[in-house]
């Protein structure tokens, strides 16, 4: 429950009364809230790189909540969207959940649940962002490898010893050792185990 300053809750709700009260409620637990009366201003202001979540009213003039949610799911799949529905919009909310929404709430809200889910969504977003970032870092490291070093990395992930590696690549064992060293260096891995973990995180499979 210690929100970082960078955290944001994006509230998109056309009804000002509800919007303001939501903000009031969210701020009561220290969340930073950005509120918008419609989809368009929200999309203009959105910073998807900040950890956060979107509270979205389904019934809105212009671009409705569902439409916006689908748009977000397409463009910012990591950003969690919590839908807020009036009575009777439950089937819509179910459709939204199937389409990837994080959760939905009926007005009026059970504040406890809503706040917990909102914070959970923010945490998830933060983790996802971090993961994406780390994956992006590993990928950058992999990108720095030469083609020969990538071959060596692949064999290292298979657990092939230096001699086998040299034989497979038709190079001398000494040259192979140099490549191995360069790979470890470029991948910023202290050990083989760490290297394997990094590669797994990046989606590279051994073998």
Partner 1 sequence: MVSPPRHVVDNRSQCAESARPHLSGAPETAAIVLRCCRLHAREEPPLRALTLAIALLPLLCALPPAAGGPDTGAGGLPTAAAPTTPANAQPLRIGVLAWRGSERALSSWMPTAEHLRERLPDHAIRLVPLGLEEMETAVASGELDFLITNPGHYVHLENTHGVGRIATLETHTLQTPSQALGSVVIARADRDDLQALSDLAGQRLLAVSPEAFGGFQIIQDELRRVGIQPRRDLQELRYTGFPMDQIVDQVRVGAADAGIIRSCLLESLVAEGLVEPEQFRVVGERAEPGFPCRLSSRLYPDWPFARLAHTDRDLARRVAIALMEMAPPEDSEALGWTVPLSYQPVNELFERLRIGPYADFPENPLAELLYRYRWPLLAGLLVMLIGFGHHVRAEYLIRQRTQALHETMRQREAAEEAARHRQEELAHVARISTMGELAAGLAHELNQPLAAIVNYANGCRRYLEPMDERQVPQKARLLEATRHIAEHGGQAAEVIRNLRAFLRKEPGEFRPVDVNQIIDEALGFMAVALRRAQTRVECRLGTGLPPVRGNSVQLVQVLLNLLSNALESQAELPATARFIHLSSERAGDRVRITVADPGEGMAEAVRARAFEPFFTTKDRGMGLGLSLSHSLVQEHGGRLSLRPRKSGGTLATIELPLQEETDA
What does the binding site for partner 1 look like in residue numbers (CB under 8 A)? 15, 17-18, 20-22, 24-25, 27-29, 59, 61-62, 86-88, 107-109, 111
Q: Is 120 exposed, middle or buried (0-12, 13-18, 19+ CB in 10 A)?
A: middle
Contact call for residues 55 and 102 (beta carbons, < 8 A): no
Minimum distance of partner 1 from residue 161's CB (angstroms): 58
Minimum distance of partner 1 from residue 10's CB (angstroms): 17
With residue 81 as reference, give the H or E element that holds it: strand 81-85
Cβ-based nearer residue to partner 1, 28 or 49: 28
Cβ-based nearer residue to partner 1, 21 or 182: 21
Minimum distance of partner 1 from residue 144's CB (angstroms): 48
Whose CA is closest to 196, among 161, 169, 152, 157?
157
Minimum distance of partner 1 from residue 109's CB (angstroms): 7
Minimum distance of partner 1 from residue 201's CB (angstroms): 38
Cβ-based nearer residue to partner 1, 15 or 151: 15
CA–CA separation, 64 vs 60, rounded Å? 5
Name residue, tokens 């959760």: 103
CA–CA separation, 12 vs 15, rounded Å? 9
CA–CA separation, 134 vs 142, rounded Å? 12
Cβ-based nearer residue to partner 1, 11 or 189: 11
Cβ-based nearer residue to partner 1, 86 or 159: 86
Cβ-based nearer residue to partner 1, 7 or 149: 7
CB neighbours of 96 closer than 8 A, spacing ≥ 6?
Answer: 58, 65, 66, 69, 81, 83, 104
Minimum distance of partner 1 from residue 15's CB (angstroms): 5
């Amino acid at each position: 429950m210690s929100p970082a300053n960078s955290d944001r809750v994006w509230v998109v709700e056309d009804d000002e009364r509800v919007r303001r009260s939501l903000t009031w409620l969210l701020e009561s637990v220290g969340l930073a809230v950005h509120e918008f009366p419609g989809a368009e201003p929200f999309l203009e202001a959105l910073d998807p790189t900040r950890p956060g979540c979107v509270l979205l009213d389904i019934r809105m003039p212009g671009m409705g909540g569902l439409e916006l949610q689908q748009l977000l799911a397409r463009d910012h799949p990591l950003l969690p969207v919590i839908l807020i529905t009036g009575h009777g919009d439950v089937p819509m909310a179910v459709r939204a959940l199937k389409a990837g929404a994080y959760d939905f709430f009926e007005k009026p809200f059970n504040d406890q649940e809503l706040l917990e889910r909102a914070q959970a969504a923010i945490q998830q977003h933060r983790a996802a962002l971090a993961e994406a970032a780390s994956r992006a870092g590993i990928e950058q490291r992999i990108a720095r490898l030469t083609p020969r070093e990538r071959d060596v990395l692949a064999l290292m992930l298979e657990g092939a010893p230096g001699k086998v590696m040299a034989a497979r690549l038709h190079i001398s064992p000494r040259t192979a050792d140099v490549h191995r060293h360069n790979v470890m260096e470029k991948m910023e891995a202290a050990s083989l185990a760490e290297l394997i973990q990094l590669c797994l995180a990046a989606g590279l499979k051994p073998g």
